[in-house]
Structure 1
Amino acid sequence: MQTLDLVDAGSGVEFGGGVHLDTRVAGSGDRVALVLPGAERSVEDIAFLDALAEEFSVVAPSHPGFGRSPRPDWCTSVDDLAYIYLEWLDRSALTDVTLVGLQFGGWVAMEMAVRSCARISRLVLVDSLGVKLGGPLDRDVVDLFATPHVELDRRLYADANRGLGELGRAPEQDVLEVVRNEEALVTYGWEPYLHNPRLLHWTWRIGVPTTVIWGDRDGIVQPDHGRGLAERIPGARFELVRDAGHRPQVECPEDVARLIAKFAA
């Protein structure tokens, strides 16, 4: 049995280096899942985290600059995020951790795994960003910053009604969170665009069982990209989630949680 010395769900957690992150903690299982989110609003992941908490003790921080988590001036790269979470794992003395990366969080999770899997026993990547498989002129990832939000909703979700639609008509707090998350995403992923050119050359260092999960209607990063990513991680398996877009944990939370629990078992 592992223990988590953390505060209640929805409060802040100190992650080292003076980084204090808004964090959701749920569940009481023997196994620990560290869930790294993408750029979605925090409320969108609640059903998924609750489903995952039926099998795991779940720790889900908002990255520095996202949601209600402050970003220190020095924290400007995905490398910084990877080291923040690796440091937290070391200080927590946890082992057998299932690391789950959602979209942008998948990039962070891979950066962690190529550095050290000492406390990570399994890796789950859900519609992950972070690597470029195409050529210099190929666009692996749709331009999130130049695409109108209504069009983004159609690409992010199989059911576009899950998005906010016209931001001018959406609740102010939701719009503020979207804008803050997009600002943070630009900070970490503007150039090179949402990938690390070196990361693909180090995926062979991921020495833990890995599963790559993808929405079959992802309009941001095509499923073939996910298959290609799985082929470049030793022994990784690929799972397709039906009737889901770029954020399958939002549209099919129980299905994604079930795949992760089955994989961890």
Structure 2
Amino acid sequence: MQRCHACNRSTRTASRIQADFRPDSCLGSFRIARTLTPILKQRLRSCNGKRGRKTTEGPRMSATAGATKAIVVNGATIETVERGQGRPILFLHPGIGIEADAPVLGELARGGRVVAPSHPGFGTSDLPKGMSTVDDLSYFYLDMLDQLDLNDVLVVGVGLGAWIAVEIAVKNSARLSRVVMANAIGIKVGDRETRDIVDIWALTADELDEVSYFDSASGKRDYKNLPEAASMAAARNREAYARVCWSPYMHNPKLKNRLHRVKLPTLFLWGTADRVLTEAYGRAYCASIAGAKFETVERAGHFPHLEQPQEFARRVLAFAGAPAHAVPQAVRA
């Protein structure tokens, strides 16, 4: 790996971001890119113009604080966080990515071995050639489960991650035991003239925080002053999210008619303050899966795992039948 003498930044990371981050792509419609693009261009210029000496390949650096490991699946290196031991819990993050030190991972680890990868193209994970849809991501994770030889897997997904989770369950549930879907996207509920999901790429950063969180301050980030790795990861997350969700917007037109194939116990968790999606959308989604249960999470919006991590984990682990001592106590409002 090469590093820049001037800033000691990885030119490999810079090259990957430069290759993936295209302001003229669909991400350009996401207004937050107006803040990130000049910052990234400046940082990339500082690295690409000054090549350092070759050094021994070291551990891949995480985009966020906390321990991570690299898993190679079909030639793609995937940034992965692992916590705990025991029954496998595959945590699939929403479009904003996952931070290695997210409290929810520690809470879930009370009840098993949490495996939380950054989706291909997100964070510092490689983007395999030709991977451009949620359908592609679901097959990728089926390959990952085979490679890691994980069985009796509890799959927990939020937002985009919930969509991926149900696509996996529709295709092949042999290695799965249960599915938890929080504030899930992925299907069309209304008619063609009805917008089911807010057009997030038409919103400013502040407007997006307002519709996404119970407390909008929860989502505010100072992008201009983020560490280099974090700002690059944020840019990759937003472009990768747009890449797989842009068209058709936030859904697979064929998925709704395939949901009858989900035979696993399924729980929908829903942050009641979500204004990206309505609770009615979530209940209609839930009704499309035989036997699925629907529960609400108070004082949380589109990302209940972030705003109410302990309560989120309590619901998940109770649904999974974890021992009582492993389930966090109910949180009092």
- TM-score, scaled relative to structure 2: 0.73
- Give per-residue Cα distances to partners, 1:201-243, cap 9 Å, x unaligned: 0000001000000100001111111111111101000010001
Residue correspondence of structure 1 range 102-251 to structure 2 within 5 A:
102-164=158-220, 167-168=223-224, 173-251=229-307
- 1:12 corresponds in structure 2 to 70
- 2:18 corresponds in structure 1 to none
Q: Is the 8 A contact 1:211 1:239 kept in 2?
A: yes
Which of 22, 39, 46 matches 2:79?
Answer: 22
CA distance in 2, matches of 1:237, 1:45: 29
State the shift of 1:88 in Å.
Answer: 1.6
AA paired with 1:131? I
Unaligned runs of 5+ in 1: 1-7
Unaligned runs of 5+ in 2: 1-65, 322-333
CA distance in 1, matches of 2:67, 2:90: 14
Q: Is the 8 A contact 2:81 2:100 kept in 1?
A: no
- Give per-residue Cα distances to partners, 1:75-110, cap 9 Å, x unaligned: 111111111111121233222110111110111111
- Give per-residue Cα distances to partners, 1:154-204, cap 9 Å, x unaligned: 111111111125645666654433322110011111110010000000000
AA paired with 2:72? E
- Give per-residue Cα distances to partners, 1:126-160, cap 9 Å, x unaligned: 11111110111111111111110101011111111
How many pairs does the alignment contain?
256
Compare 135-144 and 165-174 and name the one that shifted more: 165-174
- 1:5 corresponds in structure 2 to none
| 1:70 matches 2:103 | no
CA distance in 2, matches of 1:107, 1:140: 15
State the shift of 1:53 in Å.
Answer: 0.3
- 1:254 corresponds in structure 2 to 310
State the shift of 1:9 in Å.
Answer: 4.4
Q: Is the 8 A contact 1:31 1:55 kept in 2?
A: yes
Which of 149, 153, 157 matches 1:93?
Answer: 149
Q: Is the 8 A contact 2:97 2:118 kept in 1?
A: no
Whose Rg is larger? Answer: 2
Aligned-residue RMSD, C-alpha: 1.7
CA distance in 1, matches of 2:255, 2:81: 29
**Alpha carbons of 1:66 and 1:26: their partners in 2 closer, same or farther (altered >3 Å)?**
same
Q: Is the 8 A contact 2:67 2:100 kept in 1?
A: no
AA paired with 1:26? R
Q: Is the 8 A contact 2:159 2:182 kept in 1?
A: yes
Q: Is the 8 A contact 2:68 2:100 kept in 1?
A: no
CA distance in 2, matches of 1:236, 1:108: 17
Identity %: 39
Q: Is the 8 A contact 2:96 2:238 kept in 1?
A: no
- 2:24 corresponds in structure 1 to none
Q: Is the 8 A contact 1:101 1:126 kept in 2?
A: yes
CA distance in 2, matches of 1:93, 1:167: 39
Compare 160-169 and 218-227 and name the one that shifted more: 160-169
Compare 137-146 and 229-238 and name the one that shifted more: 137-146
Compare 74-83 and 236-245 and name the one that shifted more: 74-83
CA distance in 1, matches of 2:101, 2:316: 15
- TM-score, scaled relative to structure 1: 0.92
Query: Secondary structure of the residue that 1:112 maps to in structure 2?
Result: helix
